[in-house]
Amino acid sequence: MMKRGVHIRKGSKHIKTRVDLPASKSLSNRLLIIKALCKDNFIIKNLSGSGDTIMLQKSLENTDSINSIDINDAGTVFRFLTAFFCVLKGTRTLSGNKRMLVRPIAPLVDTLNELGGKISYSGFKGYPPILINGTTLEGGKASIDAHISSQFVSALLLIAPTMKKGLELELKRSVASEPYIRMTLDLMRYYGIESEWDDNIIKIVPQKYEPKNITVEADWSAAAFWYEMAALSEHAEIELMGLQKNSMQGDNAIAEIYENIGVETTYLADSILLRKSARTIDFLELDFFAIPDVFPSLVACCAGLNLPFRFTGLQNLSIKESDRVEAMICELGKFGYEFEYEKPAVLSFNGLHKKPVKKHILCETQNDHRIAMALAPLSLLDFNLNITDSDCVNKSYPDFFNHLKNAGFSVEDFWNNCNFDLNLT
């Protein structure tokens, strides 16, 4: 099967551009579930145009006519629909691509069934595909292992107000990606749903969502790749439109992180301005357990800067669209960067760099949008990059490569199949 790839070059290490970032996929997906659960209609402005959000929107718009849904690789969509279809009358099958079929779903399914749900497995126990018989959930007390994915928790919280007894959810073990759970509760509060979070217990009584129009903020996760570019440049003035300082998105933590590694953030009325600044640290230690989506961009950036680091909290990155730690180790190894990986949670880099044999680097995305976008900025370091399967960015940021062109990068298409080798030297 022929797939599009891109050649990327950047003659100058100066960047001056203005970027209309995509709307937040995380906010958009939660809002679509809330809208589907709300008795009255409301308007969502600036809804994400990502592949995941389009998939979710189509699935929700055709609940009466479709009883079998293949969501491909959209993990958030799979988890949110698992909970949503559990409280919607009818019988439906949820499936996905090969990668999705090895991503665990058992913690969510077990908890939903504990609350009165009727979900069974169509294949291997604990994994998609699943068969869902919709019903009204009794609700009450339940528990879930929150260590694997915050999306399991968010999926339960979104439907909690519809349960007869509401929900008292105990979060077992340490909570993965906690800011995403707080985002869910903040959005629910905007739509009239009150909640209590005391220690490891979240309580939500039966309530009704209240209609209210909203405009979706731009995506801080997408901003991470522009922060990476600013840090790797010699001079940068990058205005990112639609971002706010007081954001529901936990990935806005990157502004503070990058302040230490060479990027200054100025907050404007409806945007932020990134400028190249002096690096203030010689070693970076960072825990990604709360912000896993920014790992690929930060590991590529620190490698490109030859900045030694010790990254922890990586244990859940193996169940993303790819095994992101292994993928980044493999792809960055082609550039001459070597790492020490203490599986499953710790990655270290000593700051040393061996120059690669080839001038042109052929990078495999492993069908992972964040891998592709994290590697592209390394073209600022005089590498000619060749990134396969570049259309994978459609999952979250369809205009990424067009925005690179607008910022002065040379981006040219090539077509290849999975076994094609450019054999560049």
- Give every CB contact of residue 54 below 8 A, 6+ residues apart in sequence: none
The total of other beta-carbon atoms located within 10 Å of residue 41's CB is: 8
Return the amino acid letter for 85: F
Q: How far apart are CA 78 and CA 76, in angstroms?
A: 5
Q: How far apart are CA 378 and CA 294, in angstroms?
A: 16
Give yes or no: 293 in active site.
Answer: yes
Q: Which of 293, 382, 389, 391 is catalytic?
A: 293
**341 burial class (0-12, 13-18, 19+ CB within 10 angstroms)?**
middle
> Would you mind telling me the total number of residues written for the chain in this entry?
425
Residue identified by tokens 């100058």 is: 12
Across the chain, how many H-helices and E-strands are there?
A: 12, 22
Tokens of 237: 């003035």
DSSP state of 292: G
- DSSP codes joined into one string, 136-202: ----EEEEEETTS-HHHHHHHHHHGGGSTT-EEEEEESSPTTHHHHHHHHHHHHHTT---EEETTEE
Q: How far apart are CA 9 and CA 319, in angstroms?
A: 31
Helix (H, G, I), strand (E, B) or coil at 312: strand
Phi/psi of residue 347, nearest 5 degrees: -125, 130
Given its phi and psi angles, is residue 307 left (phi above 0), alpha (psi -120 to 50 degrees) or beta? beta
Q: How far apart are CA 147 and CA 398, in angstroms?
A: 30
Q: Which residues are catalytic?
A: 293
